[in-house]
Amino acid sequence: MIVNEQAIGIFDSGIGGLSIARQIHQLLPSENLLYVADTIHAPYGEKSTEYITQRAFEICEFLIQRNVKAIVVACNTATVSSIKALRAKYTIPIIGVEPGVKPAVFNTKSGIVGVLATAQTLKSASFNDLAKAFSTNVKIEVQPCPGLMEQVEALSLDSASTEALIKQYVFPLLEKGADHIVLGCTHYAFLAPMIKKIVGPNIEIVNTDFAVAKETARRLDILNLRSTHVGQGHVEFWSSAPADIAHKQFSMLWGESVTVFKI
């Protein structure tokens, strides 16, 4: 039987999924959260579907052993690669994240939408089905971004090298006329201020981290699984990165000094 006070498990290839975890923590402050960063196997973006699915299963087993009541796959690449297989195996709610093509298509004025994501996400069947379903009257231009998640992992959020990489990836989309830039990788949420600075006020940046938090709440509500605890939930972090690096990464992105357990 699932109990309301069990934690919500959240995972990503690294620290990108913290962009979703922080939204869940804000929206559902009394929920206990258990976050796993699969850092030694990152990046997922250049790996095969089989490899990523195997990693996803291994992490889900870890989370299930720790008795989570739901799992949020806080990684676009892991979602497109493995969510069907995860849902086929586990009975608890499994919530994924996909690039926010739908809101961008709905709001574009130029009729051109740009998507930044990993190569693996962009070549996946589920992303291509999504893009096809929403490109009747709108052109969707995609841009793989090798190296960009690594800049976030290195906490290089406003360096000259990150700026140069973003310009290299974003300018071609702007030249094609995109007025919406979809952040199709959870790591890129932490680069949103830099991306905004580069694209200027007339270009919208589309991020789905809040939508995933809302969807998590909705899925818990369907099963009546919201925490009934009064006050802040307990947030636990796990990472396979060396302890000193993990401490620095999580503390900076979570906004306070936190303990990170070694997985």
Q: Quick check: 115 binds ligand DGL (CB under 6 A)? A: no
Give 133: exposed, middle or buried? Use CB within 10 Å, 0-12, 13-18, 19+. exposed
Distance CA 21, CA 138 (A): 31
* CB closest to ligand DGL, residue no: 45
Instruction: Give the side-chain half-sphere CA count within 13 A for 178.
Output: 27
Region near ligand DGL per CB under 6 A, out of 1-9, 42-50, 86-94, 102-110: 42-50
Distance CA 84, CA 262 (A): 28
Q: Quick check: 16 binds ligand DGL (CB under 6 A)? A: yes
Give me the residues paired with residue 64 across strands.
none
The residue with tokens 């992992």 is: 153
Among 35, 44, 237, 254, binds ligand DGL (CB under 6 A): 44
Q: Among this protein's residues, is 145 annotated catalytic? A: no
Do the beta carbons of residue 70 and residue 216 sit within 8 Å? yes
What's the min distance (Å) between Cβ of 19 and ligand DGL? 9
Q: Quick check: 144 binds ligand DGL (CB under 6 A)? A: no
Q: CA dist 80 to 75, 86, 138, Å?
A: 9, 11, 22
Q: Among this protein's residues, is 60 annotated catalytic? A: no
Residue 43 vs 233, nearer CB to ligand DGL: 43
Q: Quick check: 143 binds ligand DGL (CB under 6 A)? A: no
Among 53, 77, 108, 216, binds ligand DGL (CB under 6 A): 77
Contact residues for ligand DGL, defined by CB under 6 A: 12-13, 16, 42-45, 75-77, 118, 121, 149, 185-187
Residues taking part in catalysis: 75, 185
